[in-house]
Amino acid sequence: MSSEVFKDATRMSGGRASDEAIVAMEGVYKRFKDFEALKNINFQVGKQEVVVVIGPSGSGKSTLIRCINRLEEHDDGRIIVDGTELTTDVRNIQEIRKETGMVFQSFNLFPHLTVLANIALAPRQVRGMPKSEAEALARELLERVKIPEQADKFPAQLSGGQQQRVAIARSLAMKPKVMLFDEPTSALDPEMINEVLDAIKQLAQEGMTMVVVTHEMGFAKEVADRVVFMADGEIVEVGTPSEIFDNPKEERTQKFLAQIL
Amino acid sequence: MSSLPSAPAKVPIWRDVRVLRWLFQIAVLAVVGLIIYWIWGNYQTNIERSSVQTDLRFLDNPASFTIPGNDFDQSSPVRAAFVQGFLNTIQVALVGIFFATILGTIVGIARLSKNLVVKTIAAAYVEVIRNLPLLLLLTFMNLAVVLQTFPRIEDAWKPLDLFVISNRGLAIPWFEGSAGQLSLLVLAGIVLAVIVVRLERARADKVGRPSRALLLGTLALAIVPVVGWITLGYTWTLPFVDGRGTSGGLRLDPSFFALIVALVVYTSSHIAEIVRGSILAVPRGQGEAADALALSNSQKMRIIILPQAFRVAMPALGNQYLNLIKNSSLGATISYFELTQIAQITVGNGSPAVPAFTLTLLVYLAISLFTSLFVNYFNRRLALVER
Amino acid sequence: MTVVFGYVGLWVIWTVIEFVFVTGRWEIIQVNLKLLLVGRFPDELMWLVGASLTALAFWVAAVAGGSKIDLNNVQTIPQRLFDYTRRFGLIVALAALLIFLAADIAALLLAFQVLGGVIVGRLVGLARRKVSVLGAIPSIIWHPMLGSPAIALVLVTLMESTLEEWGGFLINFYMAIISIVLCFPLGVLLALGRRSSFPIIRLVTTTYIELIRGAPLFVLLLLAGVALEFFIPPSIAPDAIFRGVTVFTLFTAAYLAEIVRGGLQSIPKGQTEAGKALGLSTTKITYLITMPQALRNVIPAQIGQFISLFKDTTLAGAALNILDVLNVGTAITKQQDFLGQGLIYEALAFVALLFWVGSYVMSRESQRLEKRLGVGVR
């Protein structure tokens, strides 16, 4: 899909496409050895937009958002985050990583540091914040995700849901412009999924721009401004939640939704 | 139109990730290169000052020493002595690995026995030996056992009238005849045994009866050498005391004996731990499944547990074998003429030390490499095919 | 079966007891105790040895006491004491034996001094956990800081006495400790190099590691005995202990590199990815996130390597003619008073005891740590 068509579709479906896209991907390709993980991706995220990406496993959803903060290197096309283009320039990569926050499926908290140290690490090391200020910020963020009492514990002592919320707080500590979520609840036991989804919803309400890869359709319906369906490395269909879930146009979308809903 | 600039900005070289990577590599290499250059410079300066030989010409000089237990001629070149030393090392390695594996496996399984006495003795053996330095064991075997405890030849022990044990060595019954021929016969026996086992298994599968492959294979393995023995006229000879030594049979040099016993005992304690660990590493469910299928205890061990344990143990076992080979160099401390001792003697006789010891080192490296490749090959063949 | 093995076992135990208490003639050990333990170390400098031992004990106790591994371990005081007796009883027994053999009040005082060092060290370590001001000091500064008295004392000992005066168990112990401390930086660098994505660095480090690992330590020592002086500037004349320590350091570094590499490999990739996503540079990720975890995870294997090194110091005695405890042990049986009396058993038994107790206790501690670490790591 060319970028013009993409934007028109977005505008027609009432999405908040603006001329200041926080994330813009144009003609992006990504190959792993002989396998094309991403094909001709044209994708934009506007300010304060919540975009949810759904699709079968192997469709390239994770690869898409991992390209945004350079955890994967795209082979063709261009990616621009908040005005900075993602190239092999170390300064650009560094800038973009400072402005994006990522929450992983397996939390990836640092087990040898306390919860507080986990959150305070990046502001101190990357933004040069003094220790007391960083720790105050960390406590504030822990309050925001509703687990202030866990500050001096180690990640191994927390439940999965609590760990993921600490991971969210850790990413927020860098005050990013856009948050990327890579299947944040897929590794959680069912009873803990909601506490994490609530935290993410709260962030959305507070106006954070985010791209969320998930299987939680209820969450998508509730919070997404736009839903993107991917399959086989391509963006197949884009629309509002009601458009995609109630009225899917493409056959692949219909098949996928029939399987999971 | 959104904020896509018309063309990507050019990436300045000094900030390009790819360039920086290569620069870093080159910097590290430069540092390493400087260090090597400095060392080389020192080497050159020192060599000039001391006029020491640094090439391998010494290998052609006559050895001027004899090797006990061998017909090595004093006037043979040094290189022949090295070959002899190498062969001795291989000999120690093969004999040592063989016995250490057997003893280690027995002790390892014994440690898992349900019999409390057996289990405790095996555990004590492992815990005592494992924590002692090998050199200590070797010194003990040499000074305490062989030189001190073993009697003089006049009062030699003669257990079962088959062996003669004295401080001149351990004499065992041996055959008279060509060892090379016998080895070929044994090899032929192995080949025949493999063929027989394959045929028997195929037959048993077709007919549906339990295969007698093990029995028939062992018979085949034994028959060829035995027939060869009889037809070629080999005989057993028993050792007996003859003046200041022994005649008949095969007398194991006391240093060889001490070295082998020390190496076997030491390495077997490590192998016992590996075997024990590998059996314990087989998931409990495997044994339970075997029980559920009504396999007998011996079938369970033979078909299910031990093969899997062996697969786990193989890399660690290979490592122990390498260690044994390297540890054989300690034979030099008790004057057993393996490779390191040969090197030391030739250096004592005037060969230049640096090339001699470097050559020795390279030979050990070659042996290690070869053994590693061997073990890796086995590892790969044993590896489970995974998704 | 039981009868046979039981009989054999009892016979062995009986022989040993008979040897130790009845037939063994232990004067050879009593007379030569100083020689066995410290060689010909000058008497007036013996206090340095005692002080260094105490400082070392302090350091180890402080590091152990401050570790955050046993967070969930709540033991009552009597339980604690019982635990300590079980773990270190053998060392205490050995120390008692040595004091008894020395029959010298100074030895008893030294034992108490070392015990004092251990207790103070443990308290300091605990203080670091409880007092936040101390806890704020980063580990990379705290641990060396605690070790500085020990390091200083060892350096003073090196400077004040000539290395010829060193001997006995002192040599084995010090060579092992000095080598393991020195080999650390090199080992870590080699491990990083081996895992590097830069082909040339990888090749160089792998070659070094594989060369060392394929070579017998004994032959390397022999080579260093004759060849080391060629590779260093002519002004420095290497003596035997210097050669030994150099070889041990280079040797152990290669093995340590493999251990650390294993540790690094076991760290999930997600850790580095999380670091990158937060904007941390690769260097910072390595020394803030991956290295601390890797090193902690392989502490048991590191202890195993140290035990190996400790036992291998006997090889230096054989290859470089250093008077280590094993060499002294065999030498004293040739003394005039003891020649030809078959006292080699007593001598070797004593040396064996020293190594065995040290090695056994250390490997038990390492097993214990392994169990505890397994619980803490997620």
- Model pTM score: 0.83
Same domain, C232 and C204: yes
Kindly state whether residues C224 and C258 are assigned to the same domain.
Answer: yes
Region C191-203: what's the mean pLDDT? Answer: 86
Domain that holds residue B209: 187-234
In chain B, % of residues over pLDDT 90: 20
Segment B342-351 shows an average pLDDT of: 83
- CB < 8 Å to B333, chain C: 318
In a domain, C7, yes or no: no
Give the mean pLDDT of C174-202: 89
Question: Rounded distance, CA C298 to CA A145, Å?
Answer: 35
Mutation for B interface: A88, A94, A96, A177, most B CBs within 10 A = A88
Across C137-152, average pLDDT: 78
pLDDT band at C76 (very low <50, low <70, confident <90, very high): confident
The yes-or-no verdict on residue C356 having pLDDT over 80 is yes
Of A73-87, A124-138, B225-239, the range with the lowest mean pLDDT is B225-239
Q: Tokens for B361? A: 């080192």
Rg (CA), chain A: 18
Instruction: Give chain A's mean pLDDT.
Output: 88
Residues B11-43 have pLDDT tens digits of 666 777 778 878 888 888 888 889 888 888 887
CB atoms within 10 A of CB C341: 11
Query: CB of C35 within 8 Å of any CB in chain B?
Result: no
**Which CATH number covers residue C278?**
1.10.3720.10
Q: Which of B374, B321, B274 has the alpha carbon at shortest distance from B99?
A: B321
Largest Cα–Cα separation, chain C = 74
Residue B42 within a domain:
no
Q: Does residue C372 share a domain with residue C246? A: yes
pLDDT at B190: 80
Q: Is the pLDDT of residue B383 over 70?
A: no
How many folded domains does chain C comprise? 2
Does the pLDDT of residue A254 top 50, yes or no? yes
C71 shares its domain with C151: yes
Q: Is A71 on the interface with C (CB under 8 A)?
A: yes
Residue B365 has pLDDT above 50, yes or no: yes
Query: Model confidence over C319-344: pLDDT tens digits?
Result: 988 889 999 888 888 887 777 777 88
Q: Is the pLDDT of residue B4 over 70?
A: no
B282/B158: higher pLDDT: B282
Same domain, C298 and C225: yes
Distance of CA C219 to the CA centre of its chain: 22
- pLDDT given at position B71: 66
C363/B353 Cβ within 8 A: no
Of B206, B234, B262, the last residue of a domain is B234
Q: Which of B28, B121, B322 sits opposite C201 (nearest CB)?
A: B28
Count of pairs with CB atoms under 8 A, one residue in A, one in C: 64
Of B2, B4, B11, the CB nearest to A87: B11
Question: What's the pLDDT tens digit per position in C102-134?
Answer: 878 888 888 888 888 888 888 888 887 777 666
**What is chain C's alpha carbon radius of gyration, rounded to the nearest angstrom?**
23
- Predicted pLDDT at C331: 87
> Which of C132, C161, C190 is a domain's end point?
C161
Are residues C234 and C378 both part of a single domain?
yes
- Touching A (3+ Cβ pairs <8 A), the chains are B, C
Give the full edge-to-edge strand order of the sheet including A209-213. A100-103, A178-182, A209-213, A50-54, A226-231, A234-239
- Those residues whose C-beta lies under 8 Å from the C-beta of residue B226, and which sit 6 or more positions away, are none
Give chain B positions within 8 Å (CB) of C218. Answer: 329-330, 332, 340
CB of A166 within 8 A of CB of A119? yes
- C224 falls within a domain: yes
The minimum CA-CA distance between B99 and chain C, rounded to whole Å, is 21
What does the pLDDT average to over A211-220? 91
Q: Which tens digit of pLDDT belongs to each residue from B146-181?
A: 777 777 777 777 777 777 777 777 877 777 766 777
Q: Is the pLDDT of residue C174 over 60?
A: yes
pLDDT at site A123: 93
Range of the domain at C222: 168-323+351-378
CA distance C329 to C334: 10
The CA distance from A109 to the nearest CA of chain B, in Å, is 27
